[in-house]
Amino acid sequence: MAQTVFAPWDNPDEKPLIQFKNVTKRFGDFTAIDNLTQDIYTREFFALLGPSGCGKTTMMRMLAGFENPSEGQILIAGQDMAGVPPNKRPVNMMFQSYALFPHLSVWDNIAFGLRREGAEKTQLAARVEQMLKLTRLERFARRKPHQISGGQRQRVALARSLAKAPKLLLLDEPLGALDKKLRQDTQFELMDIQEKTGTTFVIVTHDQEEAMTVASRVAVMDEGRIMQVATPAVIYEQPNSVYVADFIGDVNIIEGAATPHPQADGYSVAWAEGQPQFHAKTNRSFAPGQKCFLALRPEKVAISAEPPEEAANRIQGKIIDIAYLGNISTYHVRLPNGTMMKAQTANTRRLSRRSLTWEDAVWLSWTDTAAAVLEG
Partner 1 sequence: MRRFTWFNATSLTLGFVFLYLPMVILVIYSFNASKLVTVWAGFSTRWYGELLGNQAFLDAAWVTLKVAVASSTLATVLGTMAAYVLVRSGRFAGRTLFSGMIYAPLVMPEVITGLSLLLLFIGIGLDRGVLTIILAHTTFAMCYVSVVVSSRLVSFDRSLEEAALDLGCTPFTAFRLVTLPIIAPAVVSGWLLAFTLSLDDLVIASFTAGPSATTLPIKIFSAVRLGVSPEINALSTLMIAIVTVGVITASLISKRASLAQQRDAQAAARAQ
**What residue ranges bind partner 1 (CB under 8 A)?**
64-66, 85-87, 91-93, 95, 97-103, 112-113, 116-117, 145-146, 149-151, 153-154, 160-161, 164, 177
- Closest contact distance (angstroms) between CB of 6 and partner 1 is 28
Nearest position to Mg ion, beta carbon? 57
- Distance CA(43)–CA(202), nearest Å, equals 10
CB nearer partner 1, residue 161 or residue 345: 161
- Closest contact distance (angstroms) between CB of 267 and ligand ADP is 36
- Name which of ligand ADP, partner 1, Mg ion, none residue 153 binds, using a CB cut-off of 5 to 8 Å depending on partner kind: partner 1
- Closest contact distance (angstroms) between CB of 173 and ligand ADP is 8
CB nearer ligand ADP, residue 50 or residue 69: 50
Which positions ≥6 away from 204 have C-beta within 8 Å?
A: 47, 48, 56, 57, 60, 96, 170, 171, 172, 173
Distance, CA of 298 to chain centre: 19
- Name which of partner 1, Mg ion, ligand ADP, none residue 99 binds, using a CB cut-off of 5 to 8 Å depending on partner kind: partner 1
Confirm or reject binding of residue 69 to ligand ADP (CB under 6 A).
Answer: no
Beta-bridge partner residues of 332 = 321, 342
CB nearer ligand ADP, residue 54 or residue 203: 54
**Alpha-carbon separation of residue 264 from 16, 274, 325, 327 (angstroms):** 41, 22, 38, 36
- Closest contact distance (angstroms) between CB of 342 and ligand ADP is 28
Confirm or reject binding of residue 128 to ligand ADP (CB under 6 A).
Answer: no
CB nearer ligand ADP, residue 53 or residue 198: 53
Confirm or reject binding of residue 52 to ligand ADP (CB under 6 A).
Answer: yes
For residue 327, report the phi and psi dihedrals to the nearest 5 degrees: -75, -30
Confirm or reject binding of residue 205 to Mg ion (CB under 5 A).
Answer: no
Confirm or reject binding of residue 32 to ligand ADP (CB under 6 A).
Answer: yes
Pairing between β-strand 45-49 and β-strand 217-222 as defined by DSSP bridges? parallel
Confirm or reject binding of residue 57 to Mg ion (CB under 5 A).
Answer: yes
Q: What's the chain's length in residues? A: 376
Confirm or reject binding of residue 55 to ligand ADP (CB under 6 A).
Answer: yes
Amino acid at 21: K
For residue 175, report the phi and psi dihedrals to the nearest 5 degrees: -115, 15
CB nearer ligand ADP, residue 53 or residue 276: 53
Determine the size of the site formed for ligand ADP (CB under 6 A).
11
Stretch that binds Mg ion, among 57-65, 77-85, 118-126, 186-194 (CB under 5 A): 57-65
Confirm or reject binding of residue 56 to ligand ADP (CB under 6 A).
Answer: yes
- Distance CA(220)–CA(224), nearest Å, equals 10
For residue 304, report the phi and psi dihedrals to the nearest 5 degrees: -150, 155
- Distance CA(275)–CA(290), nearest Å, equals 18
- Distance CA(140)–CA(152), nearest Å, equals 9
- Closest contact distance (angstroms) between CB of 184 and partner 1 is 20
Beta-bridge partner residues of 217 = 46
Amino acid at 48: L
CB nearer partner 1, residue 146 or residue 353: 146
Q: CA 131, 135, 137, 141 torsion: positive or negative?
A: negative
Confirm or reject binding of residue 110 to ligand ADP (CB under 6 A).
Answer: no
Nearest CA to 116 out of 160, 82, 156, 83 is that of 160
Amino acid at 55: G
- Closest contact distance (angstroms) between CB of 68 and ligand ADP is 12
Confirm or reject binding of residue 208 to ligand ADP (CB under 6 A).
Answer: no
CB nearer ligand ADP, residue 50 or residue 113: 50
Distance, CA of 300 to chain centre: 21
**Alpha-carbon separation of residue 68 from 272, 278, 293 (angstroms):** 50, 50, 39
- Return the SS3 of 270: strand
Select from 6, 15, 53, 361 the one that contacts ligand ADP (CB under 6 A). Answer: 53
- Name which of ligand ADP, partner 1, Mg ion, none residue 117 binds, using a CB cut-off of 5 to 8 Å depending on partner kind: partner 1
Residues that bind ligand ADP (CB under 6 A): 27, 30, 32, 50, 52-58
Residues within the interface to Mg ion (CB under 5 A): 57
